[in-house]
Amino acid sequence: MSSDPPGWELPLRLLQGFRSLIDALHAELARRGHPDLRPVHGFVMQAVGRDGTTAVELGRRLGVTKQAAAKHIETLERAGYLTRTDDPDDARRKLVQLTGRGVDSLVLSAQIFDELRAGWAATLGVERLRAMEDDLRAVTPGNPMRVDAPGWFAGS
């Protein structure tokens, strides 16, 4: 029988797996017309969503303050991925929405993620990959769409 690996290997492998996928995604995004996107930008735009949102709500979704969310919005607005328009029903609010370029980057990202997953399936076999996904779902029962990752690591 084989002995168990040390427990500290598992989290590092999980992180490496995540990193390798995200790095490959952004290498491919750069090749297909989005060289300026950073990993955090994908999380922000995913949190904005097709329906748009506001700075306060975006902050809630990302798990940061509205001020931090506003800075992300400003960055992505200047880069051409988001627009801000006045809400006709509430003069306090500014509606943040994806531009065509923003939507394109999300569509492209979904497509590239599928391609990367196919690469893992080719290496591991479809059944082993599905087993890994099932097992990860079992130990991380939350909604995978939560995007409050940024800023979590460094902490206070």
Q: How many CB atoms lie within 10 A of CB 103?
A: 14
Indicate which single residue of 5, 47, 57, 85 sits in contact with its own copies (rule: CB under 8 A): 5
CB proximity list for 106: less than 8 A, separation 6 or greater: 42, 45, 46, 98
91 binds, among DNA, its own copies, none (CB under 5 to 8 A by kind): DNA
- Strands (DSSP E) contained in the chain are 82-86, 94-98
114 binds its own copies (CB under 8 A): yes
Indicate which single residue of 13, 19, 71, 128 sits in contact with DNA (rule: CB under 7 A): 71
CB 116 within 8 A of CB 25: yes
What's the min distance (Å) between Cβ of 101 and its own copies?
19
SS3 94: strand
Tracing tokens 């995978």 back to the chain, one arrives at 144
72 binds DNA (CB under 7 A): yes
Pick between residue 31 and residue 128 the one whose CB is nearest to its own copies: 128
Neighbouring C-alpha atoms within 13 Å toward the C-beta of 33: 10
Among residue numbers 6 through 45, which ones bind DNA (CB under 7 A)?
38, 40
CB 58 within 8 A of CB 71: no
Instruction: Give the interface with DNA as residue ranges (CB under 7 A).
Output: 38, 40, 54-57, 59, 64-68, 70-72, 75, 84, 90-95, 150-151, 154-156
Instruction: Give the interface with its own copies as residue ranges (CB under 8 A).
Output: 2, 4-22, 25, 38-40, 109-110, 112-118, 120-121, 123-124, 126, 128-133, 135-140, 142, 144-146, 149-150, 152-156
